[in-house]
Amino acid sequence: MSDRDPFILKLETFATLDEGDRDLLRDRCRRVVSLRAKEEIVQEGTDPQVVHLVLSGYACRYKILADGSRQIVGFLLPGDFCDLHVFILDELDHNIATLTDCRLAVLSRDDITALCGRPRVARALWWSTLVDQAILREWLLNIGRRSADERVAHLLCELLERLRNVGLVSTDNTFTLPVTQGELADTLGLTVVHVNRMIRNLRDMSLIAISGRQISVRDVDGLKRFCGFRANYLHMDGARSGRDDLLAESEAFAMRVD
């Protein structure tokens, strides 16, 4: 794991890590497994014993209804934990699976305890979890109140921001979207035909361009205006501003108390 690894890049959005923090992250994420696309990582109802971190590829959280239909409730991108707080649960209440070929770091309870023993890493992990909850709230708003074409546009805007944050967007605002239209339909509460039509509409408006699995956002501001996208729920801009000083003060206070 290098300093350009998506996991370290993501955590450094939320806290300034020192070399000791980075070394610990590299050490604790050294156990890696590879899974093929559409493999289960954790199934609903199981008693989770380890935590998974996406190093490469796309995974998702999802629920299955009684009729067999699926609702994807979260995309897990490089740098994302799949199940950070599973140790406090008796069983997982949703499924987690790969969408593409993935490399995953597997962390034990001891690994998580060691990471949380570093105040800046612990703060970054806590912040990351709060952002996961904010993303879920925005997805609920997306599927409940936005029109079909706005849903697609909003998801693309979010992926652009999240992937840019971990160094996976090129300078011309192009990123890889290696998911099927069926998977997008399961995410957005639409049919495959509807997803196809909405993507075509965005392309005809010159907001995006598509080449294979590559999405190029040709007009970032235009796409954001179209769907009313505000990146504030991702808490990326200025997340560390003023808070590292507060953390340093709290660390100093804890040392005095000890």
pLDDT reported for residue 73? 96
pLDDT reported for residue 7? 92
Q: Are 33 and 40 in contact (CB under 8 A)?
A: no
**Joined tokens for residue 231:** 């990146």
User: Nearest-CA neighbor of 55 among 1, 124, 103?
Assistant: 103
Residues 218-247 have pLDDT tens digits of 999 999 999 999 999 999 865 444 455 444
Q: Are 106 and 32 in contact (CB under 8 A)?
A: yes
CA distance from start to end of the chain: 34
pLDDT reported for residue 245? 47
Residues 84-121 have pLDDT tens digits of 877 777 778 899 999 999 999 999 989 999 999 999 99
The low-confidence residues of the chain, meaning pLDDT below 50, are 3, 239-242, 245-258
pLDDT reported for residue 252? 43
pLDDT reported for residue 77? 97
Looking at the chain, how many residues does it have? 258
CA distance 59 to 81: 10
Type of residue found at 37: A
